[in-house]
A and B are shown apart, each in its own frame.
Chain A
Amino acid sequence: MTAAVAGDGMILRSVAHIGRIAIFFAEMGVQCGRVLARPSLVINQIYNAGGRSLVIIMLSGLFTGMVLALLGFNLLQRFGSEDALGFAAALALLKELGPVLTALLFAGRAGTALTSEIGLMRATDQLTAMQMMAVDPLRYVVAPRFLGGLISMPLLTGVYDVVGLFGAHLVGVQMLGIDNGSFWSQMQSAVSLHDVKEGIVKSVVFGFICSLIAVYEGYHSEPTAEGVGLATTRTVVASSVLILLLDYMLTAAFI
């Protein structure tokens, strides 16, 4: 009985939390339309969220591609089909590793930065000061950062995929001696637009989730050092879990 009551309480709290996020998104969504009239605000945030994540994304993409090539070569060699390495690496990167790893890295780098920045603005009364100057922080602070994250994620995923393929080519063709023509032609003939579409849809969905969680947690963090720290942790944990959960659901939907 007690466990049942506790379970009900947890479900109610979860539903209430989702409801609060939905209301927050609706309020911010209205402001997103207005922010698009001032593209400089969004462009700055694309630079902050996307541009500043480029190095870590490119490094991770390069090493992921290189590891993929090593593993793929080792596996495909057993079946005498190592020429399919380009195709295997491209599929793994475009459909799965590109969107998922980019999103996880984005949540850890840009998501935490967004949460802590907005949280600190809350803690130092900057958001209140804006409200007192009759400027809605949802329009000036939150919406541009959300849009910046949303736009950055597919672009970063594209960069990750390209650099990952370069890494796979580097190891597969330059180091392991796979034929250059086979590497690219197998990829070109086997990878379909459907596979590319899956990667794009995933990156947009992950970008939406990561950015929404980051700005929501920052905006609602307790205005203390501990509160901002906890909100930052919640951003990483919630984003990571949701990315993996949604990845499974989207992969299932695209099969």
Chain B
Amino acid sequence: MTDEIIVDVRDAHYSVRGRTIFSGLSLQAMKGQITAVMGPSGTGKTTLLRLITAQIYADRGEVIVFGENLAELNSRQVFAMRKRTGMLFQDSALLSDMDVFENVAFPLREHTDLPESLIRNLVLTKLNAVGLRGAAELMPEELSGGMARRVALARAVVMDPELLIYDEPFVGLDPIALGVILRLIQQLNQALGITSIIVSHDVNELSSIAHRSYLMAAGTIVAAGTPKELAASQSPIVRQFMSGDPDGPSPFHYPAPELSGQFLADTHATQSGGGA
């Protein structure tokens, strides 16, 4: 494990249709480490992953991956960068017209000239690692959510990427599948030294495997440190997020008029309508 920075987001600003998503967001993912990005729903965690993978570009600031500024890369260079990166999507994003085997084999067939026998061995090895070697001939619609996530993970690692990005990998998993995915992420990191960035709001799961955690809120990073440091933090927003309190600096309710005023106004309008 070295101190080499694989992903370096520097003072990123990003807006969509006048709505600010990031206002000066900075974070780093170190080589061989698991970096967790946590935050309440709607804070732009998935958008951050799109920024890191050059699906979108920052309005201001820099996003540097493998030492290269993404804004300066042409499309061929972006594709070259993506060949070194694997991504696990929140809803798996398996190709619906291919069976499980072909889904995992897809990157190998597109980017290598490996003989069919070797592709078969590689795919079955990866499927075996996620416990789905026996499901190789199933179609995506025949898989449960957890199985689809594991197939997507096998596909994400089949090219042995240097950087692996997980978008909400624990959502909707039963405890067994969750434990399997957690162990797999750890194994990939420890055995192969893959740098991992995990975006999630599952505090306990992330704290158990992450080397460094970032907490996002209001378009920026509000806290960073090891999971233990975040757990011990006295910052109100960190405490609110780690303990799951509805009241605190991060509001549970979307901005709305006063509750009593709105209900009374509705009641008044109904009575006026009835009396007329």
Binding site for B on A (CB under 8 A): 120-121, 124-126, 128-136, 140
Choice from A121, A132, A140 contacting B85 with Cβ under 8 Å:
A132
B167-192, CB < 8 A from A: none
Partner of B83, one of A121, A125, A134, A136: A134
Residue of B nearest to A139 (CB): B110
B82 at the interface (CB under 8 A from A): yes
- Chain A residues near B79: list those with CB within 8 A: 134, 136
Residues B110 and A135 in contact, CB atoms below 8 Å apart:
yes
- A125-B93, A126-B95 given; A132·B83 CB < 8 A: no
Q: List 5 A-B contacts (CB under 8 A).
A: A120-B96, A128-B55, A129-B94, A130-B95, A135-B110
Given A124-B96, A134-B79, A134-B82, 18 other A-B residues pairs in contact with their CB atoms under 8 A: A120-B96, A125-B89, A126-B93, A126-B94, A126-B95, A126-B96, A130-B95, A132-B53, A132-B55, A132-B82, A132-B87, A133-B82, A133-B107, A133-B155, A133-B159, A134-B110, A136-B79, A140-B110
Which residues, 82 to 101 on B, are CB-close (under 8 Å) to A? 82-83, 85, 87, 89, 91, 93-96
- Pair B111/A134 contact, Cβ less than 8 Å: yes
**Nearest opposing residue in chain B for A120, CB measure:** B96
B93 close to A124 (CB less than 8 A): yes
Contact A134 B80 (CB under 8 A): yes
* B142 nearest CB across to chain A (Å): 16
Judge if B57 is at the interface, Cβ distance under 8 Å: no
Residue of A at shortest CB range from B167? Answer: A125
Chain A binding surface, main DSSP class? helix
**Residues of B that sit less than 8 Å from A by CB:** 53, 55, 79-80, 82-83, 85, 87, 89, 91, 93-96, 106-107, 110-111, 155, 159
A128 touches B82 (CB 8 A): no
- The answer to whether A129 and B110 have CB atoms under 8 Å apart is no
Interface centre among A128, A129, A140 (most CB of B within 10 A): A129
Q: Which residues of A contact B83 (CB under 8 A)?
A: 134
Q: How far is the CA of A132 from the CA of B53 in the complex (A)?
A: 8
Report yes or no: A131 in contact with B55, Cβ–Cβ below 8 A.
Answer: yes
Chain B positions within 8 Å of A132 at CB level: 53, 55, 82, 85, 87
Contact of A133 among B80, B96, B106 (CB under 8 A): B106
C-alpha spacing A120/B97, complex, angstroms:
12
Say how far A202's CB is from chain B's closest CB, in angstroms.
32
Q: Give complex CA distance A130, B107 in Å.
A: 9
Give the docked Cα–Cα distance between A126 and B53 (Å).
Answer: 15
With A134-B111, A135-B110 given, is the CB distance from A129 to B82 under 8 Å? no
Q: Could you tell me if B80 and A128 are in contact, using CB atoms closer than 8 angstroms?
A: no
List the 5 shortest-distance A-B pairs measured between CB atoms, nearest first: A129-B93, A125-B93, A134-B79, A134-B82, A132-B87
Residues of B within 8 A of A131 (CB): 55, 82
A125 to B94, CA, bound (A): 8
Residues of A within 8 A of B110 (CB): 133-135, 140
| Residues of chain A within 8 A of B107, CB atoms compared | 133-135
- Select the residue from A120, A134, A136, A140 with max chain B CB neighbours within 10 A: A134
Chain A residues, CB < 8 A from B80: 134
Measured between beta carbons, the chain A residues less than 8 angstroms from B96 are: 120-121, 124, 126
Assembly CA distance A173 to B276 (angstroms)? 77
Smallest beta-carbon distance B247→chain A, Å: 33
| Chain A positions within 8 Å of B159 at CB level | 133
List B contacts of A130 (CB < 8 A). Answer: 95
Residue among A128, A129, A132, A135 with most chain B CB within 10 A: A132
Residues in B neighbouring A135, C-beta threshold 8 A: 106-107, 110
**A124–B141 alpha-carbon span in the complex (Å):** 13
Question: Does the CB pair B82–A124 fall under 8 Å?
Answer: no
Complex Cα gap A121–B93 (Å): 9
A120: chain B residues at CB < 8 Å are 96
